[in-house]
């Protein structure tokens, strides 16, 4: 999700912006936004929104059900590495989907949320 890190945003903002792609009763649990791109976790899936082109009029939305996630990791920020890295391996992909997350995000909370959702869907 780009080279710039994503900062945590209020899930209500996602529900307002992306409400039309959420199904009835689906809840946004956590959300991260970079300059143009967004990643969020709901109670049903992991979603990546990639805004493309100069004008941003083209948008790609990837929806990954938790049952398709085979592995995940969160690497906390270090002294020289200013961002945390969220990596999610999907059963149909050889390389992980990576999201750089601001160092202000709580890596343990992200791991706990992913574990609750991925393991509950097995």
Predicted confidence at residue 48, as pLDDT, reads 92
CA–CA dist 120, 29 (Å, integer)? 15
Average of per-residue pLDDT values in the chain = 86
- Buried/exposed 57-66: b ≥16 CB within 10 Å, e otherwise: eeeeeeebeb
Statement: residue 82 has pLDDT above 70: no
Predicted confidence at residue 3, as pLDDT, reads 45
Q: Looking at 23-37, 56-70, 78-92, which range is the least confident one?
A: 78-92
Domains of the chain: 11-120 (2.30.29.50)
For residue 3, count other CB atoms closer than 10 A to its CB: 8
Show the tokens assigned to 42.
């709901």
Mean pLDDT confidence for 66-74: 93
Phi and psi based region of residue 111 (left: phi greater than 0; alpha: psi -120 to 50; beta: remaining): alpha
This prediction's pTM = 0.83
**101-117: pLDDT as tens digits:** 877 777 788 889 999 99
Predicted confidence at residue 68, as pLDDT, reads 95
């Amino acid at each position: 999700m780009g080279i710039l890190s994503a900062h945590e945003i209020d899930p209500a903002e996602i529900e307002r912006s992306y409400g039309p792609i959420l199904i009835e009763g689906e809840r946004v649990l956590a959300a991260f936004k970079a300059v143009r791109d967004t990643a969020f976790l709901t109670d049903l899936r992991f979603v990546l929104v990639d805004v493309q082109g100069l004008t941003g009029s083209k948008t790609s939305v990837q929806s990954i059900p938790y049952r398709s996630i085979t592995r995940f990791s969160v690497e906390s920020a270090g002294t020289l590495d200013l961002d945390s890295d969220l990596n999610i391996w999907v059963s149909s992909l050889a390389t992980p989907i990576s999201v750089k997350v601001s160092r202000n995000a709580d890596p343990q909370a992200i791991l706990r949320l992913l574990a609750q959702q991925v393991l509950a869907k097995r």
